[in-house]
Amino acid sequence: MNKIPPGVIVPSSALCLPKSSFIGYGQLEKNPEPGDVVFGKVRRIGHHSSLENVSGRIHTIHNGTKAFFVYGNRYAPDHYEGIIPEDNVREADLLARSGMIGQVQTKNAMLKDPTRIRIQGYLLDKDGKAINTRNFPRIKNPASGPKKGKAKLILVVGTAMNSGKSLAAAACCRSLHQMGYTVNGCKMTGTASLQDILHMNDSGAKDFADFTYMGHPSSYMLSQDDLMDIFHTLDGKLGSNQKNFIVVEFADGINQRETAMLLESPEVVKRVHKLIFCAADALGAVGGLHILKTKFNLVPDAISGVCSSSPLHVRELNSFTEAPVFNGADLKLDQMAEILLN
């Protein structure tokens, strides 16, 4: 077993990792699993030139930068689709700024090739066993079963990544906070990244968390049981006070595997007080409204996202739907009260 050298970055995908859980690193004859943590060095800078640490600070990285990295799967149409390699490998691709690694399967043509990581070995405990983030959750599902969340749940979904969901979720938090309500925020699915939930916190969310607080570096390719466990655990932690609100974001688009699985769950749907749908443009919003209705039997209470910043997009939308449209970057509290409270 080798000693961890000084100056190692601990990325946000390893948020749950206690310092006392590992004593060194070394080679093991095992295939990587979601949540396995390795010690590695940056071999070649590609698309990602920075790492987000467990506090949310963004570190600039260089060839030779030392850090922990976490194996995980990623679904990101604007970036990479990456999966955990089937075999024990010496190098891997950096899939996200949060320090998640795997093997790129497809990539957006507008992106550079991924940053490459040379793996030095698995992080090991005192018994020489591999460390996995899923064994150290910060938030646990109560042994007595999932709590029934009673806070009013505002759910934010959209057409795809970068459709404006995180800004809309933060806008809901800010509106409710400014109206005098206690609001908590969480992101149920996606890839490890503290920035979205920290934005909720900056916008007034008192407590905040996401799936990484349960040890998952991402939600891509999780089972239905794992997804429902995340939902019930975070809802039970952040949504148990009927006097409060909880703002929840589902990553990516409504056709994406995990988002669709949650939207098809009666347990999830019955918790929704208000549904916000986000899109990058008016036509995308119109198509999304059709899919929400025909596939999930859902009708949003409001529309937001990138399209809401354009009066022309809003004008087009108004000819297809009576749902109100709000701009998260230019909030009107009277409009938000009408949308969120009634």
Burial of 34 (0-12, 13-18, 19+ CB in 10 A): buried
pLDDT tens for residues 43-57?
999 999 999 999 999
Domains in the chain: ranges and CATH: 12-135 (no CATH), 152-341 (3.40.50.300)
Q: Could you tell me the sign of the dihedral formed by the alpha carbons of 294, 295, 301, 304, in that order?
A: negative
User: In the structure, how many helices (H) and strands (E) does the chain have?
Assistant: 8, 16
**pLDDT for residue 146:** 52
What pTM value is reported for the model?
0.95
Cβ neighbours around 144 below 10 Å, total: 6
Query: Could you tell me the two tokens for 217?
Result: 């570096």
Arithmetic mean of pLDDT, 299-325: 96
pLDDT tens for residues 60-69?
999 999 999 9
Does position 96 have pLDDT exceeding 60, yes or no?
yes
**pLDDT for residue 116:** 98
Q: What is the mean pLDDT of the chain?
A: 96
Does position 144 have pLDDT exceeding 60, yes or no?
no
- Dihedral angle computed from the Cα positions of residues 216, 221, 227 and 229, in that order, rounded to the nearest 10 degrees: -50
Does position 248 have pLDDT exceeding 70, yes or no?
yes
* Residues shown for the chain: 342
pLDDT tens for residues 79-88?
999 999 999 9
**pLDDT for residue 136:** 97
Arithmetic mean of pLDDT, 102-106: 98
Arithmetic mean of pLDDT, 107-134: 97
Arithmetic mean of pLDDT, 140-146: 66
Does position 27 have pLDDT exceeding 80, yes or no?
yes
Q: Which residues contact 137 (CB under 8 A, 6 or more apart)?
A: 16, 213, 214, 215
**pLDDT for residue 342:** 86
Arithmetic mean of pLDDT, 314-327: 95
pLDDT tens for residues 4-24?
999 999 999 999 999 999 999
DSSP state, residue 16: T
Does position 149 have pLDDT exceeding 80, yes or no?
no
Beta strands 100-107; 80-83: pairing state: antiparallel
pLDDT tens for residues 178-223?
999 999 999 999 999 999 999 999 999 999 999 999 999 999 999 9
**pLDDT for residue 141:** 80
DSSP E strands, the chain: 24-26, 37-44, 50-52, 58-60, 66-71, 74-75, 80-83, 91-94, 100-107, 116-124, 152-158, 183-187, 208-210, 245-249, 272-278, 302-304
**pLDDT for residue 243:** 95
